[in-house]
A and B are shown apart, each in its own frame.
Chain A
Amino acid sequence: MSVPEKRRDATASRRSRIDFGRPLLILRLPGLARREGSLTVVRGAVSMRIDIRGVLVVAVLIAAAFAAAVAELGTGELHLPFGTVVQAVFGGATEFDRTIVNQWRAPRVVLAVVLGALLGISGAIFQSLTRNPLGSPDIIGFNTGAYTGALVVLLLLDGMSTSYYPTAVGALVGGILTALLVYLLAFKRGVQGFRLIIVGIAISAVLSAVNTWLILKADLQEAMSAAVWGAGTLNNKEWAHAQPVLIVAVVMVIPVFWVAYRMPMLDMGDDSAAALGIRVERTRLAMIVVGVSLTAIATAAAGPISFVALAAPQLAKRLTRSAGVTITASAAMGAVLLVVSDWIAQFAFGDKNLPVGVVTVSIGGLYLVWLLAMEARRQ
């Protein structure tokens, strides 16, 4: 059958709906039609194409995160059943129960959910930006620099005795200065990709060496505490620590949506995106700023937690069968991953309380092994 005939047949079926290859919900709400002078103006008309599987997966993940969070709130020296926890969260149960749940345990669990989501989003942004499923925010040496900043505060400026904020600030400053330094050193009439990577590796190596030195020369107890921070931990978190994170998360909602709306277009290549009306340089810059900010706040709050940013978007993508990585699903997946990892870190090893970063690294490695197996099977 020659091609022109194919085309004529297709034209005959113009009236039928398009087959998108998966179930979709098409939502069309007629707006209000008003007469303004001689014109009929329609305001508020909504039309959307909703991917049913995607929505379901996100809903399930959110439910799972919630369930895991409640489970974590109920576990500990004093074991509280599911129902009691839910009551306590909403103001019921006994005052003692409420104290345990809302004052002692909740900050940690809330941080796990929120940081997990932020890391998931950051990972999705970087993977889309670098067009690499192994993309991560650390190509600019951010995490290593953040660790250096934190170590300087903890070990050199006697940060051990003070509260949590100096460390967080140290981490933020360290990370940001490192990113700037890498950028400046790579800048020579513009930033060429390869040069940026090499400079990033070089600076990371230097800072890593500095970190090793600082840990080596410090007092053993202090060094161990600092290393615990360096592995990423949610231990000893209070509401005072969670508040800044929550504020930043709320502030970031709009920028994240701005980026999420444009990311799918950029996924098709810079040329196609520009042809469709995206301002490529501006969008890319926004993606970098948002991605780095989210990682920065997570690292400042809990130390560098590895692999959540790497694994969450890819796992979410496989579950939703979406085209490219998506922000909402990655956020939900990240939250689930971190809460579950935190539960494992706290309770799975008897009385030993591990830093959550240790669990995420191990799980991350297993996830990569699974990815490899999938690839092997596909070939």
Chain B
Amino acid sequence: MSSIVRSAAPVTSSVTDDAVVARSAHGLARTNSRRLLGWFLGLLILVGVCLLSLSVGTKSIPITTVWDALFAFREIDDHLIIRDMRLPRTALGLIVGIALGVAGALIQAMTRNPLADPGVLGVNAGAAFLVALAVGVFGITDLWGYIWFAFVGAVLATLIVYFLGSWGRGGGTPVRLTLAGVAVAAVLTGITQGLVLLDPVAFDAMRTWNAGSITGRDGSVVWAILPFVAVGLGVALSVARPLNAVALGDDLARSLGANVGLTRAAGVVAVTLLCGAATAAAGPIAFVGLMVPHIARWIVGPDQRWIFVYTMIGAPILVLLADVLGRVIIRPDEMQVGIMTALVGAPVLIVLVRRKKASGL
């Protein structure tokens, strides 16, 4: 049995999980214990950022008051602000961050493209299209209305992309999936732009949507998307290990016993749920899904499981930090989180790419 495996894959090291783990001795944190340490550090930072998110705003609320609001709630103004406005906002930022980050990690592994964005499967274009339809054609103007449209749009677009890319023999190879994603996004964007440039009401709604935002949504939105994100996360974590194999190439993955087709399908389902839910709730927030998994890979190496775990901490840190900065940077006005994530993330990415010898997957 072992001789068959050895002859099937002419790699230098023996073809087992050990090989992948051995390759994983890459990245800045080389050992598992160092990675765990890094992760706990990240977790502390995340908690800190969450507290920051609860206390900073047009009215700065001191941390002690925040603590009281969470654990010794009284019906006073400050506690109400925290419970009704900042808590949902922070929770949404957390969930949206995790969802986008993990979706990005999935996409980068599935398309074997370290620069892929979860939007490459057409999620953003699909959501935007249905939002434009909702406002322009159906006259829906409240947020609840469009959330479901956006979600349906995201899901439909991803399904179309997946089927288009997997049609015919050869299946859903990374190149074809990417091509399908660009194609579907283009058509949908064209139609959306057409709708929106002819109708001022739709245009107005769209330009607000495009900025991405986690405010103005109350707790019910968080509860609404939570199940989708949870299921998506579950599916994502379950394919983390097979994805390590798929990242080595389809043939090699098959010889390692990974079911390439199933893994890909599961990955697409996870991306759809995660990205769809996040975009529906908060609008298109760019860059998080691209940047965080990429940086995570630089720190922990190519093992998908570690990348997921680090992304789950790193992405919400980026989103919440961007949101907090957005609140203070042009007081008393606010800059939307979708805009801030690019303004905050891009310089960090540039500094990092200049500092290290950039590597791929």
Contact = CB atoms under 8 A, between A and B. Distances in A.
B168 A209 contact: no
Given A202-B350, A366-B187, A375 B197 contact: no
Contacts of A209: 286, 338-343
Given A202-B350, A358-B193, A365-B190, A372 B115 contact: no
Interface in A314-373: 349, 352, 354-355, 357-366, 368-369, 371-373
Interface string A227-243: 11001000000000000
Interface string B160-204: 000011011110000010011011111111110110111010011
A47 to B, nearest CB: 42
A298 interface: no
Contact of B183 (A227, A357, A368): A368
A198 B186 contact: no
A376 B343 CA distance: 40
Interface residues on B, range: 35 or more
Interface string A203-246: 10110111011011000110110011001000000000000000
A194 interface: yes
Given A205-B346, A220-B200, A372-B180, A212 B354 contact: no
B5 interface: no
Given A205-B346, A307-B186, A362-B187, A215 B354 contact: no
A157 B187 CA distance: 33
A186 to B, nearest CB: 8
Interface residues on A, range: 35 or more
B287 interface: yes
A306 to B, nearest CB: 8
Given A198-B115, A198-B358, A216-B207, A358 B190 contact: yes
B186 A368 contact: yes
A201 B167 contact: no
Nearest to A133: B179
Nearest to A213: B339
A223 B208 CA distance: 12
Contacts of B353: 195, 198-199, 202
Contact of A213 (B179, B198, B211, B346): B211
Contacts of B167: 372-373, 376
A212 B210 contact: yes
A155 interface: no
Nearest to B125: A365
A192 interface: yes
Interface in B308-361: 335-336, 338-343, 345-347, 349-350, 353-354, 358-360
A364 B211 contact: no
A379 B207 contact: no
Nearest to A353: B198
A285 interface: no
B350 A358 contact: no
A197 interface: yes
Contacts of B179: 134, 368, 371-372, 375
Given A203-B350, A373-B168, A375-B168, 16 more contacts: A194-B359, A202-B353, A205-B346, A206-B342, A206-B343, A213-B335, A215-B207, A215-B210, A227-B203, A354-B198, A362-B187, A365-B183, A365-B187, A368-B186, A371-B179, A375-B176
Interface of A: 134, 185, 188, 192, 194-195, 197-199, 201-203, 205-206, 208-210, 212-213, 215-216, 220-221, 223-224, 227-228, 231, 306-307, 349, 352, 354-355, 357-366, 368-369, 371-373, 375-377, 379
Nearest 10 A/B pairs, CB to CB: A376-B168, A365-B186, A362-B190, A365-B187, A368-B183, A361-B190, A209-B342, A202-B346, A205-B342, A379-B170
25 contacts: A197-B115, A198-B115, A198-B350, A198-B353, A208-B342, A209-B342, A212-B338, A221-B200, A224-B200, A231-B193, A354-B194, A354-B197, A357-B193, A358-B194, A358-B197, A361-B190, A364-B190, A366-B183, A368-B182, A369-B180, A369-B187, A371-B179, A375-B176, A376-B167, A379-B169
